Amino acid sequence: MATLTDPGGIAGTVKPRIVRQYNFAQTVPALALILLFFVLPVLALLLRSVLEPQPGFGNYAALLGSTTYLKIFLNTFVVSALVTAVSLAIGFPVAWALAIMPSRLSSVVFAILLLSMWTNLLTRTYAWMVLLQRTGVINKTLMGLGLIDQPLPLVNNLVGVTIGMTYIMLPFIILPLYGVIRRIDPAILQAAALCGATRFQALTRILIPLAAPGMVSGALMVFVMSLGYFVTPALLGGTANMMLAELIAQFVQSLVNWGMGGAAALILLVVTLTLYAVQLRLFGPARMGGH
């Protein structure tokens, strides 16, 4: 073989040397870091959920048997679903507009999207705390316009969390959806028009079905990210609508109950990884991130 393609046999002598340099050894530093400071601590935490205070599933029974905790699970799902629905409802028309508008207009919107995404999470949450407070601009404006007499309670409740989290999640749904709509062939919609479809029919029967994979994938991603969110719900939500991540932090920080903390962490982990597996199964690898 070597004599056919490479008469001098250069590759035969040099190639193995080159190939052999790349192997498992190079991934060892990264692997050691991940095993020691990621896999091991997470497994240890999950183990404590069945070992402390005594071996067994007592922590899980306590978590799933109490209405207080069930309310927190339910609230986590409700907030995440609400944020996902609102983000999708706003994100679809924006992604659609971005995909077709003149590039000098869309580049301005992209710059705003990126600036918002890159701005510190606490800065963005702080901005909403100030805007939504009783004496904040939004209440002042609404009262000034005579629409309301009393300041609306917009913070420390479901409204505050939904606004604050939608604000953070919007770019995560707009950007992938933009990519999906961009790849749709405009000729398909022209064909629909030629065949006599109205704009509304073309939207509901062609554009939305074609964009649906992007919508489902983006929605799943936003939902999964929302489930584990800690900072924004802790600052904009009230004690009445605590979310799962806060509960985990509270078990560990205030109550020093590692067993319960580990059990709640396992539940969050199982739900997150299951939904992520669904996403992978349906759409292949996608980028994810969260705080």
Partner 1 sequence: MLLNFERLGAWKWILLVITGLTAAFLILPIVFIAALSFGSSQWLIFPPPSWTLQWYKAFLADPRWLEAAWTSFRIAAVVTVLSVLIGLVASFGLVRGRFIGKEALRALFLTPMILPVVVLAVALYAFFLRIGLNGTTTGFVIAHLVVALPFSILSMTNALEGFDKSIEDAAVLCGAHPLEAKIRVTLPAISHGLFSAAVFSFLTSWDEVVLAIFMASPTLQTLPVKIWTTLRQDLTPVIAAASTLLVIVTIALMLLAALVRKGLKS
- Determine, following the binding rule CB under 8 A, whether residue 85 of this chain makes contact with partner 1: no
Site for partner 1, residues 231 to 250, rule: CB under 8 A: 231, 235, 245, 248-249
Cis peptide before 93 (omega within 30 of 0): no
- Beta carbon of residue 83, minimum distance to partner 1 (angstroms, whole number): 14
Site for partner 1, residues 146 to 175, rule: CB under 8 A: 167, 170-171
Site for partner 1, residues 11 to 30, rule: CB under 8 A: 14-15, 17-19, 21-27, 29-30
Which region, judged by CB under 8 A, interacts with partner 1, from 59-67, 77-85, 144-152, 270-278? 270-278
- Determine, following the binding rule CB under 8 A, whether residue 100 of this chain makes contact with partner 1: yes
Site for partner 1, residues 54 to 83, rule: CB under 8 A: none
Q: Which alpha helices (DSSP H) does 133-285 contain, by range?
A: 137-144, 158-182, 186-194, 199-202, 208-227, 231-236, 244-253, 258-283
Q: Which of 9, 38, 57, 212 binds partner 1 (CB under 8 A)?
A: 38
Which region, judged by CB under 8 A, interacts with partner 1, from 53-61, 64-72, 98-106, 146-154? 98-106
Closest CA to 84 of 212, 224, 210: 224
Collect contacts of 48-56 with beta carbons under 8 A, ≥24 apart. Answer: 48/258, 48/259, 48/261, 48/262, 49/259, 49/260, 49/261, 49/262, 49/263, 49/265, 49/266, 51/259, 52/258, 52/259, 52/262, 53/259
Between 131 and 216, name the residue whose CB sits nearer to partner 1: 131
